[in-house]
Amino acid sequence: MGIKITGIDTPFGGVSWEYTETSKNGIQELFYYLETKRILINPVEMEIKSWCVQSTIEMKREIASVLSKHKFISDTICWLRAMINACNLFLDSLSSVENSGIIYKNSSGDWEDATFSRAMKQFRKVFKENSSLLSQAYEIPFPNDIPD
């Protein structure tokens, strides 16, 4: 956390300031948030479509919020936008998944619904790649493995 001087008063003297967040802090906070999202890190044998939709919308909002609060370098902006785009594509793909209940994995470890399977794999792939790039750039580990 940094401090930004916002004013100096005279003749008696005084300084006013506000705390600022660094871009590294923003990425760390985002990682803390993403660690809690089971859609990313939980290799469970079943998912519920409506929960996936809700979680993805929440993630998209959080990433957009982090983007608006911090001044990031262009690479970081690109990586975060790729995550937002992955959320949009995942949500678009889920609109064509007819199963509104539980979607299970089959005996080969793939999701029973082919559209859901492709969408989930692509979604997680984008987050895995971009969280790795952010982790390297900001020297912050992303402690959870994002399964395929």
Question: What residue segments make up the domains of the chain, in order of their start?
Answer: 22-138
148 close to 118: Cβ distance less than 8 angstroms: no
Distances (CA, A) of 59 to 44, 53, 69, 87, 125: 19, 10, 15, 8, 15
The residue with tokens 């993805």 is 56
Q: What percent of the chain has pLDDT over 90?
A: 61
Lowest model confidence (mean pLDDT) among 19-23, 75-79, 100-104: 19-23
Residue 19 binned pLDDT confidence (cut-offs 50, 70, 90)? very low
pLDDT at 109: 82
For residue 2, pLDDT over 80 is answered with no
Query: What CA–CA distance (Å, rounded) separates 148 from 20?
Result: 36
| pLDDT band (50, 70, 90) for residue 1 | very low
CATH class given for the domain over 22-138: mainly alpha
Bridging pattern class, strands 102-104 and 2-9: unpaired
pLDDT of residue 13: 65
Of the candidates 70, 57, 73, 102, the residue with the CA atom closest to the CA atom of residue 1: 70
